[in-house]
Structure 1
């Protein structure tokens, strides 16, 4: 949205044209919020706008949007910055439903940026959002494949194989490193981070690194026209070999599969039929599958506050790197808030809910060992002090100031020989 976001609330919130009487719904929404920019007030305004859109009250929705436009700021504090992206998403949603009624200038379409491999490495290292899952998963994988001369990893991840150099480095330290084969799907969800080189080029770079480390290596891209069709995987498509230990790695991936019976459950059943040595699942620990727009706003606002707040601790407000990272989160917000049906691909579920799904599919949990916990804690020591980790049953959870952000789990099919 090209309309200017301003942080000064004193004039706009008291503009008498926006709420003419004390009985107006907008006035009620703002009760106790005048001059305030705290998260509770901003969330209240967003919910009021969403409620107006759901009840087809275009006039009220417009009024709340104009107020939000004056209190949100893309260069303000974390709550203001987060709100600016929610406002964009609500305007986008409203403009699709009421194209002639929304008078805001500009388009809400977020520009997608392509990263170099170096920029992607910086993106992953910025906060432990992805590194937490890499560390926990790699540690569990290394333990599960110990003693196997050949290993095949089927990698479902949105981070373009950034997880594997560390694993290759650890394998190289073994007296006799196993041969490693990594297979990735030919398609991925159209979400950040986006890379400016092909998957095949990524495989070549991994191969060069493995060669440097004297780890025998193969890289394979298997045909997969869309993430939703990956429940149709079979041994022939994946070129499975009887002499390999099979590893299934799912990093921030399952949420892009349909959450009905024909999606995630079928995918898990298919994975189970492949008899993997281990399956690791890492994803964001929030339930954003609700059909109600207001419910999704409440959960999403309080959850995605985490990366906005954590970036505040070490990057200046006008940092380009910070703005680009927040823009990628804005991509997520736009999809969660702006779209419905098949267009809404961000359908997260909590770690507890995912665990129940895996158990129902016939998987048994693999507890993370103390060595893994120690490695993850060492990783978090490299980041801001607000990051922490806790256990919830056999789940490891990354936290920010005590709030759950990302979970990691490990599983094996019930009935697989030890």
Structure 2
């Protein structure tokens, strides 16, 4: 479907408010990150606009609700499967904040109730900044943000797909001997990695370090797929040997290893070359929008809200509903960050969503919390009578600890809480990994297999020298490998399982699957087939929409409802 930029161009303001804050504001990034950010974008923010009055009417949306439905599901990406831009997940203290906004009040209302010392975080001054003059750098940034937040034009995706297929065709013309030599190198490097992991597991540190030296000679962060993966895995094994895994992982969560512009370009590259995020967005948004049609009061509970990129599209869809938008309330839940102010990210997400609802005349309330999910009580969610309620949880349950040997662990506690909420629909997405074993060698073997698939995917779909590829690999491979291989106990937060293993747990909590909408699935299958590399696939498996690469299922999505409904 053709893009409608006149409908979505204000999404840039939504992202801009999130990234460009005053120097004094603590915000989502620590003070040192803000300084680095301001240096990188010193030509972007040139002056402040007068106060936003909050009384201006939303822009006229010259489209039908049906047209909005078709476009909203292909706009801003949902929480990314690989957590490319997701906040850190190291568990610390918790904090709650509630933000209320209604267009009936010309200035809006904000009521904060917090457990931590962040009561002044959401001030009315957050709506004052607006970019009024752009340098050439700022114009480029605006274009990047639009592409990241919106769905890339169909022709851009098609162009990228043709380029990838052309590169594959050229590569296929290489000599058979070269391909054979490359395969031998991959097998040899994987054998060394397995031997090194076995030595580390058995306590033979001397042998492990000797093997590491051999791996270093054959690996590089700038080499081919196997060399890059070998480099990341070797770093993780080395951290395990020296007992520095938890520290290095925590540092990787805190650090912005590339500029914001580089990070956004990487997000754009992933979104354009890889269908997982876009298809997940279509699936979730269309299912939710369809379920809530005709509602007067809507409550969305989002486990793993992160920056809230999924919801501006739903907001725009509600703004075009004949007769006026329903009252929207979002409860944003995420993991605490390793920060003195752990709830900053989810608080700022609420502020951005509030401003966005103001522009589109959608009555809005926001409640958020950053804490261990199994510590959340039903009362914290403030469920109200008369609300149409949906729960959304995309790819985040894997980071809830799984206490082996307990009949009812933290994951069961979270699912039981959702059942108590009694939503009309539960949207669940899972990373289909099998590297959650308590035994290190088993976990290492499965992680290496999974990460090898991702590495091959990047090698095939992204240019070898592309900087965005390095940023993506750092986020999706290096950081994850460090946590899975070098961390143990509570510090190991990456705990994915096969999506099928979740089924008995979900059913035990009192849910039954909702059949996948056939027309949505057919639409997604067509988009993947026509617009992405031929090794990508999406299909229905036992009422799950699964996505993957080269025959390996990487993600599974499904719809559920309480049995009593």
Name the TM-score, length of structure 2 as normaliser.
0.60
Structure 1 stretches of 5 or more lacking a match?
A: 1-32, 99-106
Is the CA contact (8 Å cut-off) linking 2:197 and 2:237 kept in structure 1? yes
What SS does structure 2 have at the residue aligned with 1:130? helix
Question: Which one of the candidate residues 397, 406, 417 is aligned to 2:555?
Answer: 406
Question: Which one of the candidate residues 391, 396, 407 is aligned to 1:248?
Answer: 391
What SS does structure 1 have at the residue aligned with 2:213? helix
1:66 and 2:213 are equivalent in the alignment:
yes
Q: What is the correspondence of 1:11-410 to structure 2 with a 5 Å cutoff?
A: 38-96=185-243, 110=252, 112-113=255-256, 116=260, 119=264, 122=268, 125-126=271-272, 127-157=274-304, 159-176=306-323, 177-185=325-333, 187-188=335-336, 198-222=345-369, 224-229=370-375, 232-234=376-378, 236-260=379-403, 261-329=408-476, 330-377=478-525, 379-380=527-528, 381-410=530-559
- Tell me how far apart the structure 2 counterparts of residues 401 and 200 of structure 1 sit (CA, whole Å): 40
- Tell me how far apart the structure 2 counterparts of residues 69 and 132 of structure 1 sit (CA, whole Å): 38
- Tell me how far apart the structure 2 counterparts of residues 62 and 413 of structure 1 sit (CA, whole Å): 52
Structure 2 stretches of 5 or more lacking a match?
A: 1-179
RMSD, matched Cα: 3.0
Change (3 A) 1:49 1:364: same
Name the TM-score, length of structure 1 as normaliser.
0.80
Q: Name the one with the larger helix percent.
A: 2
- Tell me how far apart the structure 2 counterparts of residues 168 and 382 of structure 1 sit (CA, whole Å): 27
Is the CA contact (8 Å cut-off) linking 1:351 and 1:395 kept in structure 2? no
Is the CA contact (8 Å cut-off) linking 1:133 and 1:407 kept in structure 2? no
Query: 1:273, CA displacement in angstroms?
Result: 0.9
What SS does structure 2 have at the residue aligned with 1:205? helix
**Higher relative contact order structure (alpha carbons within 8 Å, sequence separation ≥ 6):** 2
Change (3 A) 1:35 1:187: closer
Change (3 A) 1:140 1:97: closer
Change (3 A) 1:202 1:113: same
Query: 1:51, CA displacement in angstroms?
Result: 0.7
Larger deviation, residues 341-350 vs 253-262: 253-262
The aligned length equals 369
Larger deviation, residues 133-142 vs 279-288: 133-142
Query: 1:39, CA displacement in angstroms?
Result: 3.6
Query: 1:333, CA displacement in angstroms?
Result: 0.8
Change (3 A) 1:220 1:295: same
- Tell me how far apart the structure 2 counterparts of residues 393 and 139 of structure 1 sit (CA, whole Å): 20
1:86-123 residue CA offsets vs partner (Å, 9 max, x unmatched): 1110000001189xxxxxxxx89647327759828637
- Tell me how far apart the structure 1 counterparts of residues 198 and 306 of structure 2 sit (CA, whole Å): 36
Change (3 A) 1:55 1:352: same
Is the CA contact (8 Å cut-off) linking 2:301 and 2:392 kept in structure 1? yes
**Equivalent residue for 1:15?**
none
